[in-house]
Structure 1
Amino acid sequence: MTTNNNTTHFAPELHIPNGTHSIDFYLQFGATEHFCFRNDDGSIHVAELEINGAIFHVHETMRWMDALEPISAKGVTTVIGLFVSDVAEVMRKGIQAGAIEIQPVTDHDYGYRQGMFKDPFGHYWQIQKKLG
């Protein structure tokens, strides 16, 4: 299910280290690849992916705009909030694909069920659902 071009939506761009040849984690996590452009050495320049209508991009680091991926930044550069119907199942898929659990699935007083993992490139994903 591709997002309608006439709707407003976010499409985050997650930077990955230059020279990255595989983004299999995202495919094993359940993303569909729309396209992937590679550099002459076969490394990934940019890829467009989708998870149930949520489009995002992975892109090699662009030093000219001072963009860093989490590994070279030595920390979190952003947290991707992904709303899903089954938080526990999506967390399980992420961890099975190679992510590291940061916070287990928990129901919070503010009305959200959330869990968090870090993907192999250092990006933090908050998997969530609004309760009630």
Structure 2
Amino acid sequence: MAIENTPMLVPHLVVDDAAAALDFYAKAFGAEEMVRMPGPGGKLIHACMRINGSLVFLNDDFPEFNDGRSSTPTALGGTPVTIHLQGPDVDARFQRALDAGATVVNPLEDQFWGDRYGVVRDPFGHHWSLAETVREVDMAELLAQMNAQA
């Protein structure tokens, strides 16, 4: 068996119920589960899924391996990270996430930079932005819009 060391950058999410999260991400974002590795006490020590063609790692919270601290967004009081999903038919994708149990952080709206864009919070506390480019915006217009909103 050959060992592959393909360079990549993969978000790694920590949640309170990784099995439920895998189910949610499949319903909300069409995630394809690649790997599910059980760990102690029925928790998942590692999982891998593919969303929008990209890998996302996932595991249950294990404070005992993190200096005794929980590292879920809920335990931390929120998340500073937003995972971005770009693609066609954003209205349907946004509604699909809501139907699966996500909540609106920022409603889906046409934005001055040319995207139809909104943000949801998944049931595990992670933020996901969803967007579709609906019009091209040149840099002069973009800067003018930004200055008008300042």
Question: Normalization by structure 2: what TM-score?
Answer: 0.73
Taking only aligned residues, the RMSD between alpha carbons, in angstroms, comes to 2.3
Q: Which whole-Å CA distance do the structure 1 matches of 2:101 and 2:78 have between them? A: 19
1:15 Cα deviation after fit = 1.1
1:64 Cα deviation after fit = 4.1
Structure 1 residue ranges without an equivalent (≥5): none
Matched length: 126
Structure 2 residue ranges without an equivalent (≥5): 136-150
Q: Map Cα deviations across residues 70-118 of structure 1 (whole Å, 9 max, x no partner).
A: 0100112311111121111111111111111122211111122101100
- Looking at CA atoms only, which structure, 1 or 2, has the larger radius of gyration? 2
Runs of 4+ more than 3 Å apart: 64-67
Return the structure number with greater helix share. Answer: 2
Question: Normalization by structure 1: what TM-score?
Answer: 0.82
CA contact (8 A) 1:116 1:126 kept: yes
Change (3 A) 1:66 1:41: closer
Q: Map Cα deviations across residues 4-61 of structure 1 (whole Å, 9 max, x no partner).
A: x86x6532111113x6542211121211100111113221111101123121111233
Which structure ranks higher in relative contact order (CA pairs < 8 Å, sequence separation ≥ 6)? 1
Return the structure number with greater strand share. Answer: 1
Q: Which whole-Å CA distance do the structure 2 matches of 1:83 and 1:9 have between them? A: 19
Q: Which whole-Å CA distance do the structure 2 matches of 1:20 and 1:40 have between them? A: 13
Q: Which whole-Å CA distance do the structure 1 matches of 2:56 and 2:50 have between them? A: 6
Percent identity of paired positions between Structure 1 and Structure 2:
27
User: Which amino acid in 2 is paired with 1:32?
Assistant: E
**1:16-27 to 2 correspondences below 5 Å:** 16-17=15-16, 20-23=18-21, 24-27=23-26
